[in-house]
Structure 1
Amino acid sequence: MTQDSPDQRTQQAETDRETAVDPMVGEGLLDEEMGPSSSMAHLYRGEIHRMKFWRERLDRTTNWAVVVISALLTWSFSSPDTPHYVILIGIATLTVFLVVEARRYRGYDIWRTRARSLQQNVFAKGLDPDIELTNRDWRSELAEDYRRPTLKITTEEAIAHRLRRIYLPLFGLLLVAWAVRITAFATDSWLATARVGAVPGSTVALFVAVFYAGALFVAFRPRTWHARGELRFEDLRK
């Protein structure tokens, strides 16, 4: 029977240590009795950092949307010969930005939800111990979210948020610009001016009306909001 050399035994011990699973790892690290411990502070700081990073991504999308729309409006009113459908192209472009920003907003909401959970259940409770926790299962829910991160809101809710905050005014500006473009610079009736190629003006106007009606419906229809931390209600804005 051969005996392992010291180097082999050392290597085997290191391998055993690397592959061993300690079931007690992390236990007590974030106990309620510890309050906002250093580990909790680092966890919170990390969530705030990721939330800030995704917030900046949202802002970059909005900035590009404003820049592109400004350029298209400037071009459309630079000459009477510029076709009015340039503004319709702007509406389509803004819709693309809206969809992209809604996807980023869903990612941003993951980190904001975690940060809000820590603020409500750890730091608020630490500042005022008399506060009653509204959700006593927040620790298990947060732990499960760290194990399996999931999106908290639907694409439709994310679109509604961005429409209310940013994109409805931009869409409204484009609608007014388009209406002015097909009336103020028109020699025929506005329906005739609204024609795009072989598409009659009435069809174009109907499409625009349906699009804006759909945007208003998505933005303001009654729903249960799942995004946390939004200042949607007047009493929170005082």
Structure 2
Amino acid sequence: MNSDSNSDDDTGDRSEATARAHVGAGLLDEEMGPSSAMAHLYRGEVHRMKFWRERLDRTTNWAVIVIAALLTWTFSSPSHPHYIILVGVATLTVFLGIEARRYRGYDIWRTRVRTIQENVWAYGLDPDGGLADENWRTDLGGDYRTPTLKVSAEEAVAHRLRRIYLPIFLVLLVAWSIRITAFASEPWTETAAIGAVPGPVVVGLVAVFYAGATAVAFRPRTWHAKGELRTEDLRKRR
């Protein structure tokens, strides 16, 4: 009697293990329509991407507000020191670092969304166009098991410089140049000085910083961010 009971228990355990092993099998088969689990998966990924996009915009908004306040205060009186603008440059660099880090997180969710768009919705609308990636299921499944960052920190910084921060840095550079020349009665070599640091040294440091930022933003590279709208991408379908 006990032997039969144990046998039944073993059979039940094996059946249960087999059922668990096949959980999700066929869940995302091709014949399932857009109202299937894939649609819910896609909607969830879009929501997460939107949330991280809002985090990026929030950082940018704070950066613009802080820089606008610094410029307003600096030009409100001739007695206000010019180096406050350079403090603004340093502050903007901190915001750039924060936003680049958030951009790397945002790219995880956008990569998933673009993968589903290219291989599910685009293929469903136009099967003749084929799949963008034959191994997209394997790649997407692996990313769900072990989420990984897709872009380097340097590429993320380059993206945010091109999109937002380089123009703001240029505004600060123009404002600082005007502040130490047109709004000063002394030669710029004296006006640009900060304490014991001579003016030419300050100008040299500023030039090195801007040259480095420009090099990071525009150096030739292979972009790994998926679905990022860059100028060269926009020209492909014209």
Aligned mates of 1:35, 1:99 — CA distance in 2 = 42
Aligned mates of 2:133, 2:36 — CA distance in 1 = 24
What residue number does 1:51 align with? Answer: 49
Correspondence for 1:107 among 95, 105, 109: 105
What residue number does 1:185 align with? Answer: 183
What residue number does 2:63 align with? Answer: 65
The superposition leaves residues 128-180 of structure 1 with CA deviations (integer Å, 9 ceiling, x where unpaired) of 11112231001000000000000000010000000000001100000000000
Tell me by how many angstroms 1:47 deviates.
0.3
Q: CA RMSD for the aligned pairs?
A: 1.9
Tell me by how many angstroms 1:236 deviates.
5.5
What residue number does 1:13 align with? Answer: none
What residue number does 1:82 align with? Answer: 80
Give the TM-score taking structure 2 as reference length. 0.90
Aligned mates of 2:196, 2:36 — CA distance in 1 = 68
What residue number does 2:144 align with? Answer: 146
Correspondence for 1:207 among 205, 210, 213: 205
Tell me by how many angstroms 1:224 deviates.
0.2
Q: Given the superposition, is the C-alpha separation of residues 58 and 236 from structure 1 closer, same or farther in structure 2, using an over 3 Å criterion? A: farther
Write the mapping of 1:5-20 to structure 2, written as runs, cut at 5 A.
none
Query: Match for 1:36: what amino acid?
Result: P
Specify every segment of 5 or more residues in structure 2 that has no aligned partner in the other structure, as ranges. Answer: 1-12
Q: 119-128 or 36-45: which moved more?
A: 36-45
Give the TM-score taking structure 1 as reference length. 0.90
Aligned mates of 1:133, 1:124 — CA distance in 2 = 8
The superposition leaves residues 26-54 of structure 1 with CA deviations (integer Å, 9 ceiling, x where unpaired) of 00000123243420000000000000000
- Percent of aligned pairs with the same amino acid: 71
Write the mapping of 1:20-31 to structure 2, written as runs, cut at 5 A.
22-31=20-29
Query: Match for 1:222: what amino acid?
Result: P
Contact 1:35 1:126 in 2 (8 A): no
What residue number does 2:7 align with? Answer: none
Query: Match for 1:42: what amino acid?
Result: H
Segments ≥4 residues shifted beyond 3 Å = none
